[in-house]
Amino acid sequence: MKIVALFPEYVEGEENQILNTKKAIGLKPFLEDKGHELVILTDGEADLDKHLADMDIVISAPFYPAYMTKERLEKAPNLKLAITAGVGSDHVDLKAASENNVGVVEVTGSNTVSVAEHAVMDLLILLRNYEEGHRQSVEGEWNLSKVGNDAHELQNKTIGIFGFGRIGQLVAERLAPFNVTIQHYDPINQKDNEHSKFVDFETLVSTSDAITIHAPLTPDTDTLFNNDVLSKMKEGSYLVNTARGKIVDTEALVKQLESKHIQGYAGDVWYPQPAPADHPWRNMPRNAMTVHYSGMTLEAQQRIEEGTKDILNRFFNNEPFQDKDVIVDGGQITSASYNAK
């Protein structure tokens, strides 16, 4: 079989990284030993179209996705499986995949801890006004009033979690020792747990001092945080997004930050990815953005390698995938997360 993979480019000297074009999470010897061909794209997504006609499996990471659109899926008659080397398969047109009988699977749980830790870090960075303090240290300033004017403690704040799956629950668990009030909204998980109380979406938006997003990108969450929703957030509140960039309306966010209705925004997800150099989020006020790496800790990369190989072994041996990993199977979108309203 022909397997096509898109991974971040290898950088000389960065030898710990295994999710790149050189090491490719160990797939080259793994696949060649089984008699399969592995093609690692060397010119990013631009190379993808050259292989649509005869590839059997496509693999990419959400940090550096191969966008499998309806048009591409229809030009890939041999394609049987799209594997996400990580979590989050919104770069695949799931409806078109189901219509073309292409399975979609991901390595569920591989980077949940890493992303949850990153979200907690982002909340602390925003509330403590770390970006301004760090800027002053780099640029030779010492203006304590300017940094202290917008610095807050995390304790006693109300933190809203949008999306209360594996990552959202881990975030709540890690925030609990900070003596905060935690509330969540999730169309699937509408129950309280020991750390968080379920509230409706309107309550989450209007009463949270900070909101952190942990939902998949679906037709229902696409630009859900538009100007109307952002304007209903508390004056001076904060927003963190380590889920998918397109859940937040790009221009509306810039507008709300410029007006200071939203005090700060942090995260590592963009649309599109990789983000162009002139993306407006790179230079908007009071942002603590990074490139998409929250789920790329070395520990997460190891779990991604193990999970991807497990998926491939199951496919080659005609064995069922683990239920938790399946997004599209048998011509249907089977994941509850991607079917939620």
Backbone angles phi, psi at 105, to 5 degrees: -135, 155
Catalytic residue status for 166: no
Q: Which residues lie closer than 8 Å to 71 by C-beta, 6 or more apart? A: none
Q: Are 94 and 333 in contact (CB under 8 A)?
A: yes
What does the DSSP 8-state code read for residue 328?
E
Catalytic residue status for 111: yes
Question: How many Cβ atoms are within 10 Å of 178's Cβ, its own excluded?
Answer: 16
Side-chain-side CA neighbours of 255 within 13 Å: the count stands at 12
Catalytic residue status for 91: no
Helix (H, G, I), strand (E, B) or coil at 55: coil
**Which residue is catalytic, options 273, 286, 287, 303?**
273
**Cα–Cα distance measured from residue 88 to residue 76, given in angstroms and rounded to the nearest whole number:** 22
Tokens of 276: 């162009």
Longest Cα–Cα distance in the chain: 65
Q: Are 234 and 264 in contact (CB under 8 A)?
A: no
Cα distance from N-terminal residue to C-terminal residue, the chain: 37
Q: Which residues lie closer than 8 Å to 5 by C-beta, 6 or more apart? A: 24, 27, 38, 39, 40, 41, 58, 59, 60, 85
**Which residue is catalytic, options 20, 91, 100, 111?**
111
**Which residue is catalytic, options 91, 244, 286, 303?**
244
Tokens of 41: 């794209």
Helix (H, G, I), strand (E, B) or coil at 201: helix
Catalytic residue status for 332: no
Alpha carbon distances (Å) from 221 to 163, 177, 215 = 10, 30, 8
Q: Which helix (H) or strand (E) holds 30?
A: helix 27-32
The residues annotated with a catalytic role in the active site are 111, 244, 273, 292
